[in-house]
Structure formats: C-alpha cells, structure tokens
Amino acid sequence: MICAAEIFEFVDIIVSLFDALKSNPYIEFNEFDSFAPKRSDAICKWYIDAEAYFEDIHRALMKAEHDIMITDWWLSPELPLVRPMGTQYNQDKRLDRVLALLAKRGVKIFIIVYKEPSLFVNLNS
C-alpha cells in the first residue's frame, strides 16, 4: 500500500521536473532547427576563408609573452600568416620568421608534429 508521504514525494519530483523543463533553453525551438539557443556572449569567431584566420593567429602570436604551444599533423614553416606575400614586410610574417622573432624575445616555443599512421593517411609528414 502506498502512503500519503510517498505520493507527495512523487508529486514533488514531477513538479520539479516540469519546473526544470520550463527553464531549460534546450527544449525550445531555436534558429536553424538547432538544439542550442543563440548566444551573444560566446567567445568564438566565424571565418569565411583562411586569410582572416591566419591574420588572427599572427596577432595572437605577437602578443605571446611566455610560451607558445603548437600541435599539428602537418606544419609548413614557410606558412604565410599575413597576405599578400609579395612585399618584404609580409615576408617577415611567415610562421618561421615570426617564431624566430619571438624566440629571440625569450618566448618558449613548443611544437608537436604528429606522425600520421601511414596505413590510413599517407602524407609522409
């Protein structure tokens, strides 16, 4: 036999679940049929192409004071961070030259280049 206390406890649980559902933004209809609501305070940026992305990487590298840590599957030291590359000014903004400048300033640079399993990916990196 069920006592009144058990019924009240069950009702409290159900009411709590409904309250949680009402305050949960993940059950509402969101833009583009997304599961998550739109956020205005997110720290992220959309990139249309790589040009703006690499310029932002250059800006972030130049702000480094202590350490830089890079991991990659394939990394080219001649990678241009700021384009166009025709001018001498922009030649100094290649990845290898930027890292060399920062190393001279005393910034420690750590780079891990992973070797891919050649059975699956044969880039010979």
Q: Are residues 61 and 106 in the same domain?
A: yes
Burial (Cβ within 10 Å: 0-12, 13-18, ≥19) of residue 109: middle
Distance of CA 119 to the CA centre of its chain: 28
**pLDDT score, position 88:** 66
pTM for this prediction: 0.59
Whether 106 is in a domain gets the answer yes
Residue 125 confidence (pLDDT) above 60: no
Residue 75 domain-assigned?
yes
Closest of 63, 102, 62 to residue 81, by C-alpha: 62
Give residue 113's pLDDT.
82
- What's the domain count of the chain? 2
Confidence of residue 58 (pLDDT cuts 50, 70, 90): very high
